[in-house]
Amino acid sequence: MRSYPDNCAAIILAAGLGTRMRSNKAKVLHEISGRPMIQYVTAAAKKIVGKNVVVVVGHQADVVQDVVEQETRAFFAHQEEQLGTGHAVRCALPAVPGHVERIVILYGDVPLLRSETISRLIDAHTGANRDLTVLAVDLSDPTGYGRIIVDGDGRFTGIVEEADGTPEQKRITSINTGIYCVERAFLEEALPKLTNENAQGEFYLTDIVGIGYHQNRVMGVSTAPDPKEVAGVNSLDELARAQEVMAQRLSQRDR
């Protein structure tokens, strides 16, 4: 497993409340095996990018920041209004250290992602000299997820959401996890071009893929080995499932 502390940073999106958790506690503060889930994400990122960790906070920002700083030295960016993932990354960019050339975008509610998978994503990205690499995963039942679209040459061309997919596209089992490795220069150019002309009125990070395609940017896909790693926690049931997986990991580690 390689680390990239000299030229790579991680932006971790952790501003949401998480209304489906049926709690007044910010989502990333919910615990798995006695530890707030955000700490698993920051720990995995720190192994790869060292001190170049930026956490986007919003709901209960002070508490989230205190919890992160218990284990990880990080930079923080505040997202006053939650206007989408693209907006969150725009808020974070000014906090990224100036020497950083590429950025991995992670989520505070995806606590099972391993540092090895982050490292492989960056390896694939740098090895192919790409502008953008998306982390995908193969699911036996991809219903409800955005599908990864590639052309006849195997070139990554976009992400098609379930509602917009053709019958053929809906048979694709490779889905978007929302985790990316992006060259900073491309990200700085693409983010201002995002619009919120959609039903939610939000700025979606996924739209940078379309921008990259129309600019003939070099884009590609890296596939995570285990779907459980990239499962987001958005409800109490999903929290319970993440707890089961983490408990298994910890018991195997202690053997």
Catalytic site positions: 20
Q: Specify which residues 136 forms β-bridges with.
A: 176, 223
The 3-class secondary structure across 181-245, one letter per residue, is EEEHHHHHHHHHHCCCCCCCCCCCCCHHHHHHHHCCCCEEEEECCCHHHHCCCCCHHHHHHHHHH
Rounded distance between C-alpha atoms, residue 231 and residue 171, angstroms: 20
Q: Are 206 and 178 in contact (CB under 8 A)?
A: yes
CA distance 79 to 59: 9
